[in-house]
Amino acid sequence: MPVIITILVLLLIIVASCIKVVPQAHSYVIERIGTYKTTWSAGLHFLVPFVDAVARKVNLKEQVVDFPPQPVITKDNVTMKIDTVVFFQITDPKLFCYGVENPIMAIENLTATTLRNIIGDLELDETLTSREVINSKMRESLDIATDPWGIKVNRVELKNIIPPAAIQDAMEKQMKAERERREAILKAEGEKKSAILIAEGEKASMILSAEAEKESAILRAEAEKQKRIREAEGEAEAILKVQQATADGIRAIKEAGADQSVLALKSLEAFAAAADGQATKIIIPSEIQGLAGSVKAIQEVLK
């Protein structure tokens, strides 16, 4: 009885060990008596006891390998170190298991040789400024070379480019000189713009000053004009008032019954008053001239 129980337990252990669950994004390579039989994808599977065996568990996810810096020589004989990062994915588990002994080491060596070939055709400046070109060429070369191994290279990136210390020092000096040159250019442009703005400000100030002087002259001329107009109007009004007063006086004398001689005498006095002004020539009517002669004759008789 104990023997039977032992056999049953052994059978259960064997059956349990033959049940395999393949996780998502993984594959199992199965061998039967040492030879390839099939590839299991994700799911539940059963092994034939003592005949089948799991040769290798393969991860189908995209993987990243960071390789250490590799020494390379440029076309102009500058030695530098470049470390690369390779993104790859296993597409065929069978080829991955039986294509190459150590796929990761193979990819590393292939990356180093491909990198040396590409950098050997470029000069230092081209190497520093052509990362995208180098990445693209390396990805194409590695993808073609790893295809028989069931590996697809998705992307290759140059993580770091380390030139020699002397080259780094020269590059830093060059960058410093370039920054100083740009600073001098920016300073000169700033001074130029400042001078232009100052000149434009002075020009605008002169224009405003000229316009102000012009407006001031116009206002002064207008004031002088108004002054003369008011003076002329005042003089005209004064003359008008004098003439009006004279006319009123003559009218009053006439209404008082003065004869023609008195009127003529008043007219003569008015002309005498006018002669004391600014007039240089006075025209006297003939009636007043006769009256003046009569007055003179009377004065001679009285003498």
Q: State whether 133 and 92 are in the same domain.
A: yes
Among candidate residues 27, 42, 59, the one where a domain is terminated? 59
Domain-located, residue 206: no
Residues 22 and 40 sit within 8 Å (Cβ to Cβ): yes
Domain-located, residue 153: yes
Q: State whether 16 and 93 are in the same domain.
A: no
Cβ burial, residue 60 (10 Å; 0-12/13-18/19+)? middle
Neighbouring C-alpha atoms within 13 Å toward the C-beta of 152: 9
Domain-located, residue 155: yes
Number of domains in the chain: 3
pLDDT for residue 258: 53
Among 30-34, 167-171, 210-214, 295-299, which range has the highest average pLDDT?
A: 30-34
Domain interval for residue 278? 259-303
Domain-located, residue 145: yes
Could you read off the pLDDT of 182-194 as tens digits, one per residue?
888 988 998 889 8
Among candidate residues 59, 82, 108, the one where a domain is terminated? 59
Q: What is the distance, to the nearest Å, from the Cα of residue 218 to the centroid of all Cα atoms in its chain?
A: 47
Could you read off the pLDDT of 125-178 as tens digits, one per residue?
888 888 899 999 999 999 999 999 999 999 999 988 888 887 777 777 888 888
Domain-located, residue 36: yes
